Structure 1
């Protein structure tokens, strides 16, 4: 990073840190939150792989992906970003990735720590991917009608990773000109090769979208600029016919849309070409899915947008307006599901702090509040699976791309998978800036785990009427990359193994939560008897 960009980013961090320290001395929230786990009723349930993640196709195959900020000499030119097409080279936005080494010891340890999960190999680059299913050297250039090449070795490495980490594969397929017939309709020529190879090595595709983000159909390159809702409907009919015959056990996900339902945000108004989801769902023949899927980003990163309603600054990362956007968009897509495909599950197959690799603060503790709020809130709203983007690429990843060390959101995810079960309970109302959620306690019959998120710059009093074990997450710097669990920094052991998580025993009664803190309360003997 050059001196001028470094100064801009560091100044923002210092200002934020100063604001935090000034506001944290404002005392205690006077309103007491009372929690009584024994009286909580079950209101929903999530998939056992509710918390899942993406390993993008471009990571597996190698190619250009979002360049980390510390490698930039300057922020990208916004005018150059107005037409989003990943088939076009943009050295300001992207850096060249080698195919990811999914046998790396530390990476495997960290991925196993999040098991069980769905692993989604997809992303915009998938829309134009060519699967080279032979043993010849990898093609230097994709065939006509495609943008990138995925080798058998690379896909096989992902399948080995999925097996080693107790995961299941989710993907999408090429939809570019190279797979289309004379009438311009999708054919399974590439999808069949992927399904056949997975089966040949003892794997399978658990679920798939046809198309990554059809609301932005031209983003992957090598597809007609006039692609429309009728095209999508015909493609889905062909996809469903193939899936029913060739991969009957595979869940058909869709539509996989993005960029809609957020108040005061119009991507069309920003000059982007958007194909509305409702137009696609209303087209004939009506597209049908086993699972209704969508993608959620509350903002675009500063690589692409730096002002307006589809951007967010670090100083607003704890605001209710920012956190609750995920609820609004979930309500929007649930409404479309109910209108056109009622009764099917709702999944988010891609989400992170901001599209376009994330903002700098997405790699810090500051974004952990959003991460866990989304997990807690959408479980209550009927979302069955959430797939974070990404496991290990760019700022918004759970694991650092170069060092393979956990980021703050990884530690949040690790606590979630260890403590939060699949049964969702009504925990009651929090107070302004304090959010409360409850799930059955993972691995403990009759137990419950409470999640309490205090986004305020002041302490919050709560009362729990039963003894518990407290797992308190804090950081000395909100925009820092270290996290403390009950005052001790979370970090890997010397052999890269994950630490044993230990809670602090808490007696029933009132206690005070620190400012800008996240608490899990594990209650093994809550006396819950199951669904009510």
Structure 2
């Protein structure tokens, strides 16, 4: 584990490296690393919407979501809730017409916007323009109005986002004989089309691996899933033939998360008729957050074990894909720092290393799309809940979206603690964009083969929401627009890579 100096501040715990106290731009002299662009092997392509986001259905309709850490104790005193429910509080529906929110989301485009989550499993779509029902019909848990769904569709149109979703699975989806019925699916699809929208892709329902926690009927098993998925797929083939069918969207297996699994991927996909998907999907969280009893510490956030864990999660589901749907593309449709809303430091600079490492590592391993959870709610969000001010992960995401193209190359290895990811350039047709991540608390140098434009993300502390690009703090403009990301020209030869930094280099060739 890297040696870090832990400093307690009034605002919380802050991790500050010795090297950063000596000065971010001061080079301490370390092992030299050389990049040779000509020897980099092409290893694959990612979707042009590779970096994408989730907006939880709970956010769209308003409901119970994770209480911010500073408020957990005070909220508990005024409720009789216990267990997980005691860690959640009521949130208002998100305003998807908010100008600032749209500006920030647009800057990341093109993206997929996945509107799903546990609350989508028990949703009733009220397919009329009358006032919202005071309670849902029997067998459903929540209500989605036309106005709320139109807000989702309009949001996607405004930001160059393709809509990804899932459908309800609760008791209300079945007739008196217990047979799954498509009426609610048809209502959502038809209304979406009526207002000029489209559901680009969808999972049958959210996280069948945790069916009992997601409003599935009591005793729901793999045989139920196989039979009902077959009905769902048959209906979609006619009703929405252009919609990409995703699945299964399982999570937590392969020793990644603690027990709590209802249905393994084998239990879901072994029964007949065997479920097949256009795209194989999975969800990944490296651990559960402090809220739910997790023991992850910020001191471990830059460790090799933590940063590589995303590959371990992928390996399990890649093997499942190869067994049940060989050759299908694979998407990670929900991920973040940790489950249960994220740890407190998920909103700070230290998690940007995990964020970019995950994007870089999974692109090299063949994942086509990564959907981060969430855009604007809880500690793991890219944006602050109330103000929508960008958090450090947003700035990391913005640089990725502006610079890293869809072609992926094998860049080779640098010194321990310094990772290299290479893609085609988004700006230069024949160029390459290089991302170098230094998780070490000492600076080093990189030898580059040609002149480039440099973008370096640093911070004065690791536990901070203030991020600098080329030593200048990143902020929104006065009129709530995303600032231009100015790069710095560097010459062929040696460039300094600060301690605890992320450097993008854009080469013309």
Contact 1:230 1:283 in 2 (8 A): yes
Equivalent residues in 2 for 1:51-200, closer than 5 Å: 51-73=51-73, 90=85, 92-200=86-194
Q: What is the deviation of 1:21?
A: 5.8
Q: TM-score, normalised by structure 1?
A: 0.90
Secondary structure of 2:351's counterpart equals helix
What's the CA shift string for 1:486-510, capped at 9, x where partnerless?
Answer: 0000011111111111111111112
Name the SS of the counterpart of 1:440 in structure 2.
strand
Residue 441, structure 1, aligned to residue 429, structure 2: no
1:42 corresponds to 2:30: no
> Unaligned stretches of 5+ in structure 1?
1-6, 85-89, 527-532
Q: Structure 1 residues 487, 11: closer, same or farther in 2, change over 3 A?
A: closer
Q: Please say if 1:327 is aligned against 2:321.
A: no
Shift of 1:98: 1.4
Q: Does 1:285 align with 2:273?
A: yes
Is the alpha carbon distance of 1:235 and 1:440 closer, same or farther for their aligned partners in structure 2, counting shifts above 3 Å? same
Alignment partner, residue 16 of structure 2? 17
> CA offsets per residue over residues 81-101 of structure 1, 9 Å max, x none?
76x6xxxxx2x3112111111
Flag the 1:75–1:139 CA change in 2: closer, same or farther, 3 A: closer
Distance across 1 between alignment mates of 2:187 and 2:388: 32
CA deviation vs aligned residue, 1:58-77 (integer Å, no higher than 9, x gap): 11111111111132226979
Q: Is the 8 A contact 1:236 1:288 kept in 2?
A: no
d(CA) in 2 for partners of 1:132, 1:302:
37
Contact in 1 for aligned 2:18/2:441 (Cα 8 Å): no
From 238, 256, 268, the equivalent of 2:249 is: 256
Match 1:395 to one of 379, 384, 395 = 379
Residue 24 to residue 286, structure 1, CA distance change in 2 (3 Å): farther
Matches of 1:273 and 1:448, distance apart in 2: 42
2:16/2:460 contact within 8 Å kept: no
Once the two structures are TM-superposed, the CA of residue 190 in structure 1 deviates from its matched residue by: 1.2
- Residue 301 of structure 1 deviates from its aligned partner by 0.9
- Distance in 1 between the 2:342 and 2:69 partners? 10
Higher mean displacement: 387-396 or 140-149: 140-149
Q: 1:231 aligns with which of 217, 224, 239?
A: 224
- Counterpart of 2:350 in structure 1 is 366
CA contact 2:437–2:502 (8 Å) conserved in 1: yes
CA distance in 1, matches of 2:74, 2:463: 21
Q: 1:323·1:373 contact (CA, 8 Å) conserved in 2?
A: yes
Matched, 1:461 2:445: yes
Matched residue SS, 1:136 = coil
Structure 2 runs not aligned, ≥5 long: 1-6
Give the superposition deviation at 1:404.
Answer: 1.0
Partner SS state of residue 158, structure 1:
helix
Secondary structure, in 3 states, of the residue corresponding to 1:193?
helix
Distance 1:300 1:20 in 2: 31
Deviations 1:510-531 (A, max 9, x none): 222111000000112x1xxxxx
Corresponding residue SS for 1:64? strand
Match of 1:530 in 2: none
Once the 2 structures are TM-superposed, how far is the Cα of residue 29 of structure 1 from its aligned partner? 7.1
Deviation sequence 1:428-482 (CA, Å, 0-9, x none): 1122111100011103111110000000111122111111111000011111001
What TM-score comes out, normalization by structure 2 length?
Answer: 0.94
Whether 1:33 and 2:27 are equivalent positions in the alignment is no
Q: Does the residue aligned with 1:217 lie in a helix, a strand or coil?
A: helix
Counterpart of 1:4? none
